[in-house]
Structure 1
Amino acid sequence: MAMTTKTVQIKIKSDGDVFHELWKANPHEVPTITPTTIQNCQSHEGDVGTVGSVLFWNYFHDGKDRVAKTLIQEIDEGKKSVTFKVLEGDLLELYKTFVIHVHVDTHGLNNLVTWTVEYEKLSPDVSDPDTLMEFYKKVTKDIETHHLKI
């Protein structure tokens, strides 16, 4: 099976730099902002905000509690992007490889968050991660709402 890519873009009114900084340097704060989708984020090894650090996530997706262990594979300050590679967890029961890119284009008050996932299915009957793309939209909107209140 070949690698496949899916992308979703969400316009946000909150600060794109703050959004990028949250995913890069403060992912442990995400659960307090999005408690209905992400319940926990703990650092497992390395320094948070650095390439090579490992994070453990508890999240709620498709009506079930899920877990994921991710490696921060790349941080690009110029592009305001962070890349997470899934090392362990529920996603790897369906996909051989799963990589998540979160990228922010900032243009004053008009900011665009782009979530791109690269994945390789374990078998042809595994569905595409469409519900996960909806999950990322909800997480993004929860973060936007939180930041607009501050």
Structure 2
Amino acid sequence: MAYSQLQKVEASVHIKASAEHFYDVFCNRPHHIANISPETIKSVKIHEGEWGTEGSIISWNYINDGNICVAKEVVESIDREKNEVHFKVIEGDLLGHYKSFKTILQVTPKGKGSVVKWALEYEKKENHTPDPHALLQMATEMSQKIDSYLTQGKN
């Protein structure tokens, strides 16, 4: 029998970069992430719309648990004041295991740096489907690489 319940996993990462700079990479320049974190993100391409706009459709080719995966997402909402962006998966490997899958990124200034908060909201197709902890771990590691990229050479 199918299992249906919206669930969420979350993680936060403290970084040295400003919230605005980190958010800018994910909202306006996600295609740069393949250069920053090539061992995880193989490519990011836009299919419809423009970078940094709601309704745009973006595909990610990435490595998850040693497997090459694809996720096609629509940018559901952008809140530039809160440095928040919501992505909804519309095609790809994740939908083999989940009825729905959303990624929410929010970056908040804190002290001399900021806090990157990742939330993955999903609905499992089957009860035995694992929670997406590997993806959450990938997101936090990628956040640290982006932080290093943004802050290298800066004191």
Scaled by the length of structure 1, the TM-score of the pair is 0.97
Distance 2:110 2:10 in 1: 20
Percent identity reads 34
The two structures, once aligned, show a CA RMSD in angstroms of 0.9
Distance 1:110 1:41 in 2: 26
Letter in 1 for 2:121: E
Q: Gapped runs of 5+ residues in structure 2?
A: none
> Which residue does 2:26 correspond to in 1?
23
Q: Is 2:151 the counterpart of 1:148?
A: yes
TM alignment of 1:14-53, pairs within 5 A? 14-53=17-56
Distance 1:149 1:39 in 2: 22
Letter in 1 for 2:74: L
Aligned residues: 150
1:141 match: secondary structure? helix
Q: Is 2:118 the counterpart of 1:115?
A: yes
**1:103-142 Cα shifts (integer Å, max 9, x gaps):** 0011341310000011000010101011111111111011
> Which residue does 2:57 correspond to in 1?
54
Distance 1:85 1:146 in 2: 26
Letter in 2 for 1:28: H
**1:3-57 Cα shifts (integer Å, max 9, x gaps):** 0011000000112211101111111111111111101001000111100000011
Distance 1:130 1:81 in 2: 21
Q: Gapped runs of 5+ residues in structure 1?
A: none
Distance 1:29 1:131 in 2: 22
TM alignment of 1:43-122, pairs within 5 A? 43-122=46-125
Identify the match of residue 5 of structure 1 among 5, 8, 27: 8
Letter in 2 for 1:103: Q
1:126 match: secondary structure? coil
Off by >3 Å, runs of 4+ in structure 1 = none
> Which residue does 1:130 correspond to in 2?
133
